Chain A
Amino acid sequence: MRSTPQGQPAARRRRLPGLLGAISAAILALLLVAAPATQAASPSPTPSPTNQTFQNNISGFLRDDTRAPLADVTITATKGDFTGTAKSSANGSWNIGVPEQGTYTVELDESTLPEGITLAEGQENPREVTFSQTSNLSVIFAFGKGIVVQQQDFGQNLLNRLVAGLSFGLLLALASVGLSLIFGTTGLTNFAHGEMVTLGAVLVFTFNAMGLPFWLALVLSLLGGALFGYAQDRGLWRPLRRRGTGLVPMMIVSIGLALAVRYVIQFYFGGATQQLPFAQSPEVQLGPVSISPNNLWSLGISAVVIALLGLVLLKTRLGKATRAVADNPALAAASGIDVDGVIRLVWITGGMLAALGGILWAYYRPGVTFDMGSAILLLIFAGVTLGGLGTVFGALVGSIIVGIFVELTTVFGLAADLKYVGALFIMIVVLLFRPQGILGRRERVG
């Protein structure tokens, strides 16, 4: 096991109160940063049985074959003795809040459809739908003769899931590259990384709800993610490294931080699922693949960002310094590299990448919740471990494998609510045969 440089015993005593102050300051800062969300989210204290107060939603858009929205169509969702009803609004959107996840029967009242509009041939009505992991479930009804609901064509389905998986894998990679860089340079397995992911999406929602334009909200939340990374390193991890705290205690400290931050976010944001602007969009046909524009954007953005990061790591002095620190911190320090500076930069970059990943994840699910980051934390870990702990390109490859695997398992008959199990299981199996991961260097890890 590697250990961080040991601090002087005298300095150690002096730093204890400082450290305590730094932690409380960090928590306080978080509370302050998140404070505006109270006005924005304002979770209602007394739940009343309206659509908004349920944490789970079944929703969708009703559009006819010319893509014109269909208003005032009644849709009901039933499960056991629960029945929820909604009418589609002027833009065709409808939303039914439901008390719990599970399988629902969704029925569209065909008598409320406008003149001349009928359901497409082969469109099941009523139909059974099942929640999978997320608290929002999109249901699409097809109309007219233009779009005929295709019988699930296996090859088509495979291709669609493959592209969706690639998009998911790349957004996972954004988070896991940061995690892997942090692990590589400091040895810390950061369990609070999921909260850094959540923060990005929550900040976009908050800034947008405050009335800022969308692009500004995006920029500010990325900066917020970077700031959170910097503050964490400055206020918590650097003092701990100076004290010579071991890696296992630091890992447990990161768990405490994750719990604290997760519930601070819930404290202000509430337990409900919120949607970012433009969260719902109909799928478009792109050659043989049908994909939602959001997924396409997500795919493009994460691919470009990761390519840029790879370029920086491979070609610039800074990137070389980072890789040198990841390889051997002591040797890097001896050859004149500012190790603390590199680590600070890694935390800032990691925070920003995680925030970006969180925003894209909010569009992929879709929805923003206080625990959205911790929901994919283990998939991020799986990606990093698969690729090889501490290797940046390994984390990229591992995450893409995890993303595609998660999406493809549903094609091959695994139930949607078990799709994360496959990825976690594969991680354990790979550890059996290749503990250093796919791109990891062969070394003793036991």
Chain B
Amino acid sequence: MDFGFILASAAGEIFSPTTAAYALAALGLAVHFGYSGLLNFGQAGFMAVGAYGFAISTLTFGVPFFVGLLIAVVASSAFALLLGIPTLRLRADYLAIVTIAAAEIVRYIVTTNQLTSVTGSANGLAAFEGGFYAMNPFPAGDYFGMNNRDFFIRVVGWALVILCCTLVWLLMRSPWGRVLKGIREDENAVRSLGKNVYAYKMQALIIGGVLGALAGMVFTLPRGAVQPANYGTELTFFLYTCLLLGGLATVLGPVIGAMIFWVVLSLTQGILYGLIESGAVTWLNTVQAGQLRYILVGVALMLLMIFRPQGVFGNKKELAFA
């Protein structure tokens, strides 16, 4: 078993574009759940809206990159508004069920054969990333073992993560953020102070949703393809695991959580595959090894929620629920 290779590929996950996408989406969940107490189980839907909004506007309408980006952001804000209007006045579990249902509706709609000409149905869409890579300022060459394309997407992805983290950090220490945390602690108390709780929740839902849409774009750009199967409910649950691995009401928690999540997944995969190939483990095949990792994710989510509900780096006082 080549430990050097396993460690190297695990370390490579720390700054991979997928990790950046998970970090962004989990940051959106931190705004929703950690800071505002909104139980959004449809973050995968926001990511799908972002990814498809960008891909469809590029492919079907042929708009330039930044217009596509704008359309994705506007589409996800509209999605948040649509979701928020019926549910933000209701209890937390209603929001959970409605958001998860809405995310599935999005996935069914982009999967249906009726819209194949627009969404590509189950095969998805591809070849929309040209406009993005045309802006690549790095000439071809070797950057830390990556080609200029891979390097460019990493730089952009992580720059976006840093930018969004800074914005969320600034927002949460502003008066607006304090009201939001107040809503999380006691909605009625904030309402009695004359604040429009509904509007604040809606704004938080939109901000987190836009972060999800950006994450969806960062997720699909390096793949050069967007497929509906990637945006199932499991994605949202993985994001919750990332969030809890980091910290609920923290800015850097989701980022670190996403890094831990992918490093641990990569390490377990490398070690399990290595053990299987070397013949040390015979009761497992490589397909089952992949499933074993998801069993571990599920158990980790349970244990984290039971024993450290504020997340590994979170503060117990900042808990969205008693």
Interface residues of A (CB under 8 A from B): 1, 3, 16, 19-20, 23, 27, 43, 45, 100-103, 130, 189, 240, 245-249, 251-253, 255-264, 266-267, 271, 374, 378, 381-382, 385, 389, 415, 417-418, 420-421, 424-425, 427-429, 431-432, 435, 445-446
Partner of B113, one of A245, A417, A428: A417
Distance in angstroms between the alpha carbons of A255 and B240 in the assembled complex: 10
Q: Does B275 contact A (CB under 8 A)?
A: no
**Lowest 7 A-B CB distances belong to which pairs?**
A260-B298, A259-B298, A256-B301, A256-B302, A263-B294, A432-B86, A45-B285
Please give the distance in Å from B203's CB to the nearest CB on chain A.
Answer: 18
Partner of B291, one of A249, A267, A424: A267
Q: Is the CB of B288 within 8 A of A189?
A: no
- Smallest CB-CB separation from A236: which chain B residue? B302
Q: Is the CB of A253 within 8 A of B305?
A: yes
Q: Does B164 contact A (CB under 8 A)?
A: no
The prevalent SS among residues of B at the interface is helix
Q: Does B89 contact A (CB under 8 A)?
A: yes
- Which B98-151 residues have a C-beta within 8 angstroms of A? 98, 100-102, 104-105, 108-109, 111-114, 121-122
Please give the distance in Å from A255's CB to the nearest CB on chain B.
Answer: 5
Q: Is the CB of B121 within 8 A of A102?
A: yes
- Smallest CB-CB separation from A264: which chain B residue? B295
Distance in angstroms between the alpha carbons of A435 and B113 in the assembled complex: 33
Partner of B302, one of A1, A257, A378: A257
Question: Contact string, B296-322, partner A, CB cutoff 8 A, digits 1/0?
Answer: 011111110111010000000000111
Q: Does B292 contact A (CB under 8 A)?
A: yes
Complex contacts, B97 vs chain A, CB 8 Å = 189, 381, 385, 427
The prevalent SS among residues of A at the interface is helix
List, sorted by A's number, 16 A–B pairs whose CB atoms are closer than 8 Å.
Answer: A16-B307, A23-B299, A246-B321, A247-B321, A249-B306, A252-B244, A253-B301, A256-B299, A256-B300, A259-B234, A263-B292, A263-B295, A267-B295, A271-B287, A420-B108, A435-B89
Q: Is the CB of B86 within 8 A of A253?
A: no
Given A385-B97, A418-B108, A432-B86, also A260-B299 (CB < 8 A): yes
Residues of B in contact (CB 8 Å), total 54
Complex contacts, B87 vs chain A, CB 8 Å = 431
Q: Is the CB of A424 within 8 A of B113?
A: no
Complex contacts, A263 vs chain B, CB 8 Å = 291-292, 294-295, 298
Partner of A259, one of B102, B108, B237, B309: B237
Q: Is the CB of A20 within 8 A of B303?
A: yes
Distance in angstroms between the alpha carbons of A427 and B105 in the assembled complex: 12
Please give the distance in Å from A7's CB to the nearest CB on chain B.
Answer: 13
- Which B49-107 residues have a C-beta within 8 angstroms of A? 85-87, 89-94, 96-98, 100-102, 104-105
Q: Is the CB of B299 within 8 A of A43?
A: no
- Smallest CB-CB separation from B83: which chain A residue? A428
Distance in angstroms between the alpha carbons of A130 and B93 in the assembled complex: 36
Please give the distance in Å from B238's CB to the nearest CB on chain A.
Answer: 9
Distance in angstroms between the alpha carbons of A45 and B290 in the assembled complex: 12
